[in-house]
Chain A
Amino acid sequence: MARVSLKGVNKSFGKVEVIRDVDLEINDGEFVVFVGPSGCGKSTLLRLISGLENLSSGEIYIADRPVMDLPPSKRGIAMVFQSYALYPHMTVFHNMAFSLDLEGKNKKEIRERVEAAAKILQMEHLLDRRPAALSGGQRQRVAIGRAIVRNPDVFLFDEPLSNLDAALRHDTRVEIAKLHRQLEATTIYVTHDQVEAMTLADKIVVLKDGEVMQVGAPMELFHHPANEFVAGFLGSPKMNFFDGVLSAADASQGSFRGEGLELDDVRLVSTNKVNGEQIRLGIRPQHMVLDPAGQLTGTVTLVEQLGTESVLELITDNNTPFRFATPDMVDIKVGQQASFSFNLQSAHLF
């Protein structure tokens, strides 16, 4: 059982607070992705769990064991670095065998475990090579293999795909997902790429400025973002926001007036707002439909045809930019007016 719990975790470098009061429960076998913009503290949080950084305050439990005072190697974790961090003077075999060798395992066991890991990753033929003779994808695979060999309770991935090219990134992502299904080990994965987060995660943790913004399953976060930041961070193209005034608010719904829109009974996310206060309406570009009778009207400033999708950039009469995305081909030129309607179920008030 390898649950990971963080309780009131704080980390500051000098006066700079990097991680603020993070509480998190990660269940056994769960694939958790830390996601957020750069500088949000997601890598630091991972390093705190790994033990490469020391906590300023708080508690971390791995497999129900407090690990705050344990060195990285005793925490039952294995880490895959963004930069691979392979030992350049050792062959792939010795790279993978290094940790076992240090534990003083006998030669036979080392060989068996390294070969087993190599088989899982289909790289038995690479064992005698040096890292310099490997491609980027192969190197990352060796780095993952090095983690597997240790048979850890928890796998930690620190942006493992950032150095790969787009095609390879996709393949490796699929492989990591398969691997997780095969090994069923608890995995914590740090990325700034929301596609990786959405596709891999059982649970996403969105971080901003060292604070947890929201924790939840990918679709939950996508459809029910807890705040404007999460709503804006997840999804591509980004969610559209319109400024307006709140009225007729109750515990979960409210009316929105602004940008020529008059909407009633929209889901109210920010429950602390009162009638008459400034509020923002969020609606995803994909959730809008072209509708000549629609309330939302804008002038097209850019048309992007991606093949699978068409994205229009528009601007309202109040100079608020917004986007519209549709899988269909659209026949609208730059400078034309377009009107949209949308299902109130998919709109949010922040």
Chain B
Amino acid sequence: MTRFFKHLILLLIVVIWVLPFLALVTTSLRSETASKTSGFWTAFTPTVLGHRFGTHDRDNTEPFVTMSGNIFERLNEDKESFIVSGEVQSIMFTGRVPDPEKPGKTKLIRQLIYAGEPMDVRDGDFVFQSNGDFVWTFPEATAPKPKNLDAFINQDPVFGTDAYVEVLFENENVPNALISSFIVTIPATIIPITIAAFAAYAFAWMRFPGRDWLFVLVVSLMVVPTQLAFLPVLQGFSGIASWATALNAWMTDCEATKTCQVASKSFASLWITHTAFGLPLAIYLLRNYIVGLPKELLESARIDGASHLKIFTRLIIPLSVPALASFSIFQFLWVWNDLIVALYIGPADSSDLVFPIRLQKQLGTFKDQLHLLNASAVISIIVPLIVFLSMQRYFIRGLLAGSVKGG
């Protein structure tokens, strides 16, 4: 029984976590109308939706006695995606019929006409079937104007990638944001992990005075909130930037073209900031992993003549792959999803905005175009997902098997 509850709770957690992603993906794959008019959960089952169709084209003025056509053909005439299919349930008839209460007069009625029932359209007899076929018959050859009718169709689920095509190809915002995010994230992951690996080895296996105190100091830096540091960090960067500007003016002939100004908010300042704030955790995690590697392995390497650098590159790095991979994922996700640091310290040019800032801006521009917003969101989710899944194979259990007893 407890087992059942455990599974139930587990299932519940999984559902709660997966549901928003499912909602995002579903909405992004629906048509604009569908996403506006109904919830994502209705997208998987047939739903009754109203569609307006014209009986024939406006330039078709040839007189006829009987015209036959198909509602779905009419509806899908100009469409390449989100093809409507399903079953026509009824058509909303709007027109005048003889008034039974006042003989000789007519009254305006709105009435649902079901498949197979005749309906008076522009004085012709209009009959449709649930598969969409309709026949429009007149007593004599006529050339009526096209009539727009509202059909209620029990519509099959339909999905399309139009939203993705639109956000990715119709303007450069999302592609630019993707590129910017990669420019920020990749160095901001690789730089701290490289530094941290060296530092972690030193903290774990090299003897130097004050090692433990330094380690405690580094780890305690984890408690410094990023937000607290914005002001000094920004001041620092603008100091460096003005210094670089002066150097630029002195070293090059930029003054002629007025291009001396070096921006204080740039990709580089993001790399440095993310590195700085990622390092304490990275050093902490990696040191704790590396210190757990068997001492005899390192001693054996020392006897074999390996220097600290060789021990590091030939033993520690290959054996720390799981820890390195898990921290990379950590850092990648944190930097990729970071909004606030990028907002304050990242480059401000529209083309250099990283993904979270772009998403935030889209909230304004796409406020009632949920499908576009969601498509962008899904794109921004898919990248870390790919990173995670591809790094996952480095979480190798038993990497140390066979090295020492019981290993």
With CB as the reference atom, state the residue of chain A lying closest to B310.
A102
Shortest CB-to-CB span from B158 to chain A, Å, is 52
In the complex, the answer to whether B304 meets A88 with C-beta atoms within 8 Å is: no
Shortest CB-to-CB span from A1 to chain B, Å, is 21
A139 to B401, CA, bound (A): 11
Q: Does B301 contact A (CB under 8 A)?
A: yes
Chain B residues, CB < 8 A from A78: 303
Q: Does A50 contact B (CB under 8 A)?
A: yes
In the complex, the answer to whether A88 meets B300 with C-beta atoms within 8 Å is: no
With CB as the reference atom, state the residue of chain B lying closest to A89.
B318
Q: Which of B55-63, B136-144, B291-299, B334-342 lies at the interface with chain A?
A: B291-299
Q: Does B22 contact A (CB under 8 A)?
A: no
A163 to B400, CA, bound (A): 17
Q: Does A35 contact B (CB under 8 A)?
A: no
**Residues from 275 to 315 in B contacting A, C-beta threshold 8 Å:** 294, 296-297, 299-306, 310, 314-315
Number of CB contacts from chain A to chain B under 8 A: 86
**Residues from 119 to 144 in A contacting B, C-beta threshold 8 Å:** 130-134, 136, 139
Chain B residues, CB < 8 A from A311: none
Chain A residues, CB < 8 A from B300: 79, 81, 85, 87, 146
Shortest CB-to-CB span from A150 to chain B, Å, is 7
Question: Which of these, B303, B398, B399, B402, contacts A50 with CB under 8 Å?
Answer: B303
In the complex, the answer to whether B402 meets A88 with C-beta atoms within 8 Å is: yes
Question: Which of these, A52, A72, A98, A131, contacts B403 with CB under 8 Å?
Answer: A131
Q: Does B103 contact A (CB under 8 A)?
A: no
Q: Does A326 contact B (CB under 8 A)?
A: no
In the complex, the answer to whether A99 meets B319 with C-beta atoms within 8 Å is: no
Number of interface residues of B (CB under 8 A): 25
In the complex, the answer to whether A99 meets B305 with C-beta atoms within 8 Å is: yes
Shortest CB-to-CB span from A147 to chain B, Å, is 9
Chain B residues, CB < 8 A from A304: none
In the complex, the answer to whether B403 meets A87 with C-beta atoms within 8 Å is: yes
Q: Does A39 contact B (CB under 8 A)?
A: no
Q: Does B20 contact A (CB under 8 A)?
A: no
The answer to whether residues A139 and B402 also contact, given A83-B296, A88-B407, A89-B318 and a CB cut-off of 8 A, is yes
**Residues from 54 to 89 in A contacting B, C-beta threshold 8 Å:** 71-74, 77-79, 81-89
Chain B residues, CB < 8 A from A86: 402-404
In the complex, the answer to whether B296 meets A73 with C-beta atoms within 8 Å is: no
In the complex, the answer to whether A132 meets B305 with C-beta atoms within 8 Å is: no
Q: Does B405 contact A (CB under 8 A)?
A: yes
In the complex, the answer to whether A87 meets B297 with C-beta atoms within 8 Å is: yes
Shortest CB-to-CB span from B62 to chain A, Å, is 81
Shortest CB-to-CB span from B399 to chain A, Å, is 7
In the complex, the answer to whether A52 meets B306 with C-beta atoms within 8 Å is: no
Q: Does A103 contact B (CB under 8 A)?
A: yes
The answer to whether residues A89 and B319 also contact, given A131-B402, A139-B402 and a CB cut-off of 8 A, is yes
Question: Which of these, A99, A103, A163, contacts B405 with CB under 8 Å?
Answer: A163
Chain A residues, CB < 8 A from B296: 81-85
Shortest CB-to-CB span from B309 to chain A, Å, is 11
With CB as the reference atom, state the residue of chain B lying closest to A103.
B305
Shortest CB-to-CB span from A145 to chain B, Å, is 13
Chain A residues, CB < 8 A from B407: 88
In the complex, the answer to whether A89 meets B301 with C-beta atoms within 8 Å is: no
In the complex, the answer to whether B306 meets A102 with C-beta atoms within 8 Å is: yes
Question: Which of these, B302, B401, B405, contacts A88 with CB under 8 Å?
Answer: B401
The answer to whether residues A85 and B319 also contact, given A73-B304, A132-B401, A150-B304 and a CB cut-off of 8 A, is no
Chain B residues, CB < 8 A from A103: 305
In the complex, the answer to whether A52 meets B303 with C-beta atoms within 8 Å is: yes
In the complex, the answer to whether A132 meets B398 with C-beta atoms within 8 Å is: yes
- List the 9 closest A-B pairs by CB distance, nearest first: A131-B402, A73-B305, A132-B402, A85-B296, A99-B304, A88-B403, A83-B404, A132-B401, A85-B300
Binding site for B on A (CB under 8 A): 50-52, 71-74, 77-79, 81-89, 98-99, 102-103, 130-134, 136, 139, 146, 150, 163
In the assembled complex, 5 residue pairs joining A and B whose CB atoms fall closer than 8 Å, in A order, are: A78-B303, A85-B404, A86-B402, A131-B401, A150-B304
Binding site for A on B (CB under 8 A): 294, 296-297, 299-306, 310, 314-315, 318-319, 398-405, 407
Given pairs A52-B303, A88-B401, A131-B402, 11 additional interface contacts (CB within 8 A)? A72-B299, A79-B299, A83-B296, A84-B405, A87-B315, A88-B319, A98-B304, A131-B401, A132-B402, A146-B304, A163-B405
